[in-house]
Structure formats: C-alpha cells, structure tokens
Amino acid sequence: MSETKKTGFLGGRALLISGPILFSRILAVVREQMLAALLGSGAAGQAFELAFRIPNLARDLFAEGALAAAFVPTFTEVQKNQGREAAYRLANAIVGLVLLVVGSIAVIGIVAAEPIVSLFSFDNPDAAPMAVPALRILFPFLPILSLAAVAMGQLNAQERFVAPAMAPAVFNVVAISAGAVMLGTGTPPEAASIAWAWAMLGGGLAQLGVQVPVLWRLGYRPRPRLAFGDPGVRRILRLMGPAVIGVAAMNVNVLVNTLFSAQEDGAIVWLSKAFRLIYLPIGVFGIAIATLATTRVAQRAVERDMPGLRNTLDEGLRLVAYLTVPSTFGLIALGEPVARLLYQYGEYTAVDVTATANALFLYALGLYAFAAVKVIAPAFYALDHTRAPLLASVTAVSVNILISIVLFPVVGFQGLALGTAVAACINLCVLLFAFKALAGGVDIRSLAGHLVRVLFAAALCGWTASSVHDWIAGSMGTAETTARIAAVFPAIVAGALVYVLIGKGLGLTEFGSLMGVFRRRRASEQSGEAGD
C-alpha cells in the first residue's frame, strides 16, 4: 500500500498526544474553578478576565496562530532541503525577531495599559482601575509565550509531540498551585486578581522552560540573531501578514465579544467560563489532530504529494467530526449540570452558572467548526496560498460583528455566543470550498455523509446522557458536590458508550483507528518478548 493511501496515522498519534493535552485541559478547568471561586463575576473577576484576555488573544493570534502557521511549514522545508543546522539557524532568527518585535509590543502595552483598558467601557466602574495593574503584569506574557510557540513549532516539525503537548499542563500546575495558596489563605478578590496575574506570568515561563531540555537534546542551541535577509525569514514574514488575518477569525471574534460584553455586568466572565468548557474538546481533539495534520501536511507539501495531502486532511476532518460532534450534544444535554459542578463555589453564584450554561449551549453549536478550521487552515499556508484563509476570516468576523450588533441589544451576551458559533461555521465552509478549488479538495459529499452518521449517533449520545443524569439527579438531588458528580459522570459514560456502539453499527471506523495504536503497541511488545 502506498504512503498516500495509508490511514490511521492521525488517529493513533492523536490518541497518544491527546492524553497530555487532556491532562492540561483538565488542569485548565481546575484553574478556572479556582478563578471563579476566588473572583466571581464581579469587579475583580471582570478586571482579571480583561487583563488576561488582551495579551492572551495577541499571543493566540500572532504567536500560536500566524507564527505557527507560517513557521512550521518553512522550518520543515528548510530541514528537509538544507539540513537540521540550517533549520535551527532559521529558528534562532525567528527568536531574535520575536524578542525585538513582540518584546517591543509588550513594552508599549505596559506603558499604555490605562488607555488600552479605557477602550473597554465596563458596565462595572470598579473593574477598570483593577484591570490596569494586572494588565501591566501580564503583557510580558506575550513574548514569553511567543518564544514557547517557536519551541513548540520546532518540536512538532520534528515529530516530537509529547513535550509541547505537556507544556501547557506545566503552566496550569503553576497557576493552580498559586490558586490553592490563595484559597487556603482566604485572599480577598481584589488582591487575588493581582496575584493571579503574577501566577500566569510564572506559568508562562514554566511553559517555555519545560520545552528547552528536549530541544537541547535534539541539538538546538538558542542563539538569537537578526537576519531579515534570510530567505526562510522572508517567507515566514510574507506568510504571516495574511496569516494574521487568515487565522484570526476566532481570536478577533473573542475580542469583539469582549468589547460588547464589557457593557453588560458579569457577561465577560460568563462567556469566558463557557468558552473554557468549549475549549476542552477543541484542545483535546481539535488541536491534537491539527498539530499532527499540520506537520504531515507540511511534509506532503514539500514533497508535492497532493493525494497524500488530501488524504491527511480528509482523515483529520473525519476524526474531528467523530470526536467533537458528540461533545457538542453532550455539552448541550449537560451544560447546566456541568457548569454547576465545576463553577458553583465561593463567589460564583447560581445566577452565574445559569448564564454560563446559556452561553455554553450557543457556543457548542460551532464546536465542530472551531476544531475543523484548525485542521484545514494550515494546509493553505503549507501551499503558499494565503488568499482563501484571509477571505474566510474576514467573512467570519464580518458576520459575527453583524450578528452581535443586531442581537446584543435584544438578548445580550447570548447573541455574542451565537454570533461566534455561526461565524466559525461560515469560516469552515469557505475554507472547504476554497481548498476544493485550490487542490482538488477533500470529498465534501463523502464528508457530509460521514457527518450525518456522526450526528445521528451523537444525538442518541446526548439523549442518553440527559436521561441518565435526570434519573440520577431526580433520586439524589444536586445540592452537594458528591451528588453532582454522581449525576454527571455516569451520564457522560453512558452517553459515550451509546455513541461508540451506535457508531460502530453505522459503519464509523474512527474508533478502530484510535484504538489501533494500542493493538500495534501490544503486538510490538509481544514480538519483542518473542525475540528475547
């Protein structure tokens, strides 16, 4: 069988690296639990969310968005054609560029923190003064995480996936440790918002530091340099310009939500907590698959293997559907119980939980699109084609702004969540049709048939989860944390079992692809034992 016809590469590898990512995302939810309990949705909570969101959005957009989309295929091509040493010289040139450009942005942000915060008209006037010092602490987070993204790109391009997948977990461990101290000492919300900012900065340093030893063992030595004339640097800069807009749709839409939600007391916190739950399956499934697909697509693009590239994207999009669509139905069915289990402690009230669950329901409608865009968008940059992602992103952002303008005065923050979900779906559709015109595309009709089967199985999954939860909650109640756990977790397990069984009956093969890695590992171990 030719290489271009092989399947299961993404499924097996994705399962291996999704473990560390799942661990990291669970820790992120724990971090958000502590944030909710310590800060609530009042002035302190709103101030921290704004202060953290601004540099974090910039990092998502420039570092882990545009830079990653441009860096990985360029690094891969240089390594293949010129060798590892040349690729490392390119990496050091990008490190120098990050220190110069992103470091300067951080300095400007620190100096201009007050006018930046004033752009957001808080409904709660006590929030803005608290946001300014937290923002000044957090702006260095941007260059630190940008350097971590360069390290991650180097490791992923060399198919070293576990260390970069674990790096965010280290970030969350640092933040959780700080949160535990604050909870233990009864730190008041105003002081906790500043302490959290320092904790996030320390976590960013840890996320960068944990990847350095692996790179060192691979032969990389950090020697930052400025080399604007380097062909690889020029290519990255050429790709990054359109890529900033091309991969920006979700980031810009979150920024749009921030601008609007700051006008409704508590909304910025509710949307943040809801999107954190949406980002759990995006991170575990979408980012794991996208990380592998980006590396494999870059390799196929260098080799000019278009059938192999299309097969990689087809497998990636099917896996994303298989894993995220049941998550969508699960979050719709169990949104409020899950939000109550995770967040209703300390300063976070039952009213906050209900608002979070309402936002979660609407965000969940775009979950598959959020994740699938991360798989397909990098293919355009690997092929040096930037126009389509640019068009898709501009269209998606325009739709989100229009929906937000129309719905926010009517339904408030819920209109913002709906606009973000609809925009993600439009972004994906534009990219799919553009890729078909560019490279023959994936088989959209076949993907649609696969998606219909997934939707049917996922609908039964959601119905089962809801029924099991309601039955248990009806007999036990949900006042105590143990009762909430007893109602939510069996419901999730029951829904997952129904989904896998129905999916197998409908001919969905992804579960076998995911499990194949363990069968291959067991066979390898048995073969090794026989050889001994």
Blockwise average pLDDT, block size 10, the chain, 532 residues: 43 58 79 84 83 72 64 83 89 90 89 85 74 90 86 82 80 90 88 90 90 90 87 81 60 74 84 85 73 71 77 84 92 90 83 92 92 83 78 86 91 92 91 80 80 94 93 74 79 93 88 59 47 40
**Residues 6 or more apart from 101 whose CB is under 8 A from it?**
none
Task: Give the angle subtended at the CA of 194 by the CAs of 142 and 26, to the nearest 5°.
Answer: 65
For the four alpha carbons of 292, 76, 244 and 388, in that order, the dihedral sign comes to negative
Tokens of 424: 């993600």
Residue type at 400? N
Of the candidates 294, 332, 16, 317, the one whose C-alpha atom is nearest the C-alpha of residue 155 is: 294
- Tell me what pLDDT residue 15 has: 56
Of the candidates 138, 147, 148, 198, the one whose C-alpha atom is nearest the C-alpha of residue 174 is: 198
- Tell me what pLDDT residue 360 has: 93
Report the alpha-carbon distance of residue 266 to residue 43 in Å, rounded: 8
- Tell me what pLDDT residue 474 has: 80
Tokens of 507: 């001919």
Phi (first) and psi of residue 120, to 5 degrees: -100, 110
**Residues 6 or more apart from 401 whose CB is under 8 A from it?**
256, 419
Residue type at 220? Y
DSSP for 294-323 reads HHHHHHHHHHT-HHHHHHHHHHHHHHHHHH
Quick check: helix, strand or coil at residue 336? helix
Q: Judge whether 428 and 459 are in contact, CB under 8 Å.
A: no
Phi (first) and psi of residue 361, to 5 degrees: -55, -45
- Tell me what pLDDT residue 480 has: 67
Task: Give the angle subtended at the CA of 256 by the CAs of 254 and 260, to the nearest 5°.
Answer: 115
509, 512, 517, 519 alpha-carbon torsion, rounded to 10°:
-150
- Tell me what pLDDT residue 281 has: 83
